[in-house]
């Protein structure tokens, strides 16, 4: 996750200046079945997205 964040935060292209990605992950060692894993990963992704909006003051949802 840190490497992905490092790569995307350093991006500066000709047309797009900066990229951000929200991601969540969960593993079989935490949850008993695939449905639980997918739900947890999705919840974590949305938490990451919410934290990003709070941390940066940006909100493209408006």
Which tens digits make up the pLDDT trace of 40-56?
999 999 998 888 889 88
pTM above 0.75, yes or no: no
pLDDT for 1:
77
Query: What whole-number distance in Å separates Cα of residue 50 and Cα of residue 23?
Result: 11
Does position 39 have pLDDT exceeding 70, yes or no? Answer: yes
Q: Could you tell me the residue range of the domain that residue 47 belongs to? A: 24-62
Total domains, the chain: 1
Share of the chain above pLDDT 70, in %: 95
What is the reported pLDDT for 17?
A: 73
Nearest to 48 by CA among 4, 12, 13: 4
Whether residue 6 is predicted with pLDDT greater than 70 in this model: the reply is yes
* Residue 18, Ramachandran bin (φ over 0: left; ψ between -120 and 50: alpha; else beta): left
Task: Note whether residue 16 is domain-resident.
Answer: no
In a domain? residue 55: yes
């Amino acid at each position: 996750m840190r490497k992905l964040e490092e790569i995307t935060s350093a991006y500066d292209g000709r047309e797009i200046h900066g990229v951000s990605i929200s991601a969540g992950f969960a593993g079989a060692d935490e949850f008993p079945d695939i449905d639980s894993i997918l739900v947890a990963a999705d919840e974590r992704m949305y938490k990451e997205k919410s934290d990003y909006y709070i941390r940066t003051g940006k909100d493209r949802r408006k």
